[in-house]
Amino acid sequence: MQDILISKPSNFHEGFFSQKVMSKNLKLGIFGFGVVGQGLYHVLKETKGIKAEILKICIKNPDKKRSLPMEFFTHEQKDILDNPEVDVVLELIDDPEAAFEIVSTALKNGKAVVTANKKMVADHMTELYALQKEHNVPLLYEGACCASIPIIRNLEEYYDNDLLSAVEGIFNGSTNYILTKVFSENMSFPEALKEAQDLGYAETNPSLDVEGYDAKYKLCIILAHAFGLFVSPENVFNYGIQNISDFDIKIATEKGYKIKLVAKSRKIDDKVIALVIPQFVTEESELYKVEREFNGVIVEGAFSEHQVFIGKGAGGFPTGSAVLSDISALTYHYKYEYKKTRQASNLQLSDDFDIDIYLRFNNPKLIDKSVFNVILEEYKALENHYIIGNINFSKLKGSKWISSPEVNIILLENGVENHA
């Protein structure tokens, strides 16, 4: 356990940490000791600069063998939530609803909170924003978005006044790992998924990764910090990688492309468009070389222009490093100000835009081609057919084949940008 003294910074403002608390060790109460919890423990142990100490770890399963002495563990939430000695609650459990209960109780009890739970944050963004304001306590969640990539704090602070027009990229490590293995090593999809699970990258329910939900939760969080737009995940479209077939991979390879699962958001006047979808990427794209569990985030601003962040997007240590950075930020009283909400009064999520897609299908009777604005290429064979064309996004979402497992959709590179 750490046992390092914390000193009061000269520019310290009285707030959620009383002077009493700041003059002693920062006391941490952790919920969950899985991949991220253990990653954080390791990162904390190895870090010399951080002035913090783990007081208690609340775990669900009392029978599981643990790598630390049992005195650190408790099964009682109140040992952390009602413990006046705990300054910071680290919420690192899996279940998003249980996590919300923990986080909201901690905030109400005046404790600062750090979480890496993207679904919980995305699902409850409005309530969490209100709780932070009402109780004047910070909630930080850098580890919830692209693990080691410091995107939230950069959107909040570095890009606080730049007029951002787009934030997009690869936001999920597991699917990127699977696609890398399938493309570069000819591995089968189930084998690659198993590896991603074994390495601790995938969610407990891996369909959240594979079907694009995890990337969507991260996108929703990013929308709040990039554009000041609070959007419920159910209003954002996600299409995963589960329907990608050997035929799709063959077509991509023949054309010199890779397929990446991308999360895209763009601001056009008072409209914001947001979606998660597999995309063809060419060698010219910065995302082409983002492989395995790495993520890549591209930010476009009016003045900063095009910038790219690349880093490990999944795994205990990369996520632990983001949680550590949040703990460190709390020692100098950092909190999110959601600065972009002040610029965002008329912004709305919009489905009214056109995109270029590749649509592969086996049964031509399923597809009504008249929904396309333009068909650029058509391929027909006995087994597989495809259309490359331009379609209105709301028509794509409303099509009867969009949820068919016999169909696959891939966005063309610049397939949104060319029409936005």
Q: What residues act catalytically?
A: 218
Per CB under 6 A, contacts with ligand HSE among 277-296 are none
- Strand 305-312 and strand 294-301: the pairing is antiparallel
Q: Are 191 and 181 a contacting pair, CB within 8 Å?
A: yes
Q: Closest separation between CB of residue 144 and ligand HSE, Å?
A: 7
CB contact set of 120 (below 8 Å; sequence gap of 6+) = 91, 96, 97, 99, 100, 103
Residue type, 199: L
Using the contact rule CB under 6 A, the part of the chain among 91-99, 157-165, 196-204, 385-393 near ligand HSE is: 196-204
313 sits near ligand HSE (criterion: CB under 6 A): yes
389 sits near ligand HSE (criterion: CB under 6 A): no
Per CB under 6 A, contacts with ligand HSE among 198-217 are 201-203, 209, 214
CB contact set of 356 (below 8 Å; sequence gap of 6+) = 376, 388, 389, 390, 411, 412, 414, 415, 418, 419
Q: For 25, which DSSP code?
A: P
Residue 335 burial by Cβ neighbours in a 10 Å radius (0-12, 13-18, 19+):
middle
Interface residue with ligand HSE among 88, 92, 137, 147 (CB under 6 A) is: 147
326 sits near ligand HSE (criterion: CB under 6 A): no
313 or 320: CB nearest ligand HSE: 313
209 or 413: CB nearest ligand HSE: 209
202 or 272: CB nearest ligand HSE: 202
Rg (CA), the chain: 22
Using the contact rule CB under 6 A, the part of the chain among 43-51, 123-131, 167-175, 325-333 near ligand HSE is: 167-175
Q: How many beta carbons lie within 10 A of that of residue 226, not counting itself?
A: 26
38 sits near ligand HSE (criterion: CB under 6 A): no
53 sits near ligand HSE (criterion: CB under 6 A): no
Please work out the total of residues on this chain that contact ligand HSE, with binding judged by CB under 6 A. Answer: 11
Q: For 91, which DSSP code?
A: E
Q: Are 406 and 361 a contacting pair, CB within 8 Å?
A: yes
Residue 145 tokens, joined: 């978005």
- Strand 112-115 and strand 164-170: the pairing is unpaired
**Whole-angstrom Cα distance, residue 40 to residue 53?**
12
- Strand 271-281 and strand 294-301: the pairing is unpaired
Q: What is the largest CA-CA distance in the chain?
A: 75
87 or 209: CB nearest ligand HSE: 209
415 sits near ligand HSE (criterion: CB under 6 A): no
Using the contact rule CB under 6 A, the part of the chain among 103-111, 171-179, 244-252, 325-333 near ligand HSE is: 171-179
The helix or strand, by DSSP H or E, that contains position 125, with its residue range, turns out to be helix 125-135
Using the contact rule CB under 6 A, the part of the chain among 166-174, 180-188, 265-273, 340-348 near ligand HSE is: 166-174
Using the contact rule CB under 6 A, the part of the chain among 15-23, 95-103, 170-178, 363-371 near ligand HSE is: 170-178
Q: Closest separation between CB of residue 143 and ligand HSE, Å?
A: 8
Q: Give the contact letters, 98-137, x = binds to ligand HSE (CB under 6 A), - = no.
A: ----------------------------------------
Residue 283 tokens, joined: 């060698």
Query: Given the rule CB under 6 A, which residues bind ligand HSE?
Result: 147, 172-174, 201-203, 209, 214, 313-314
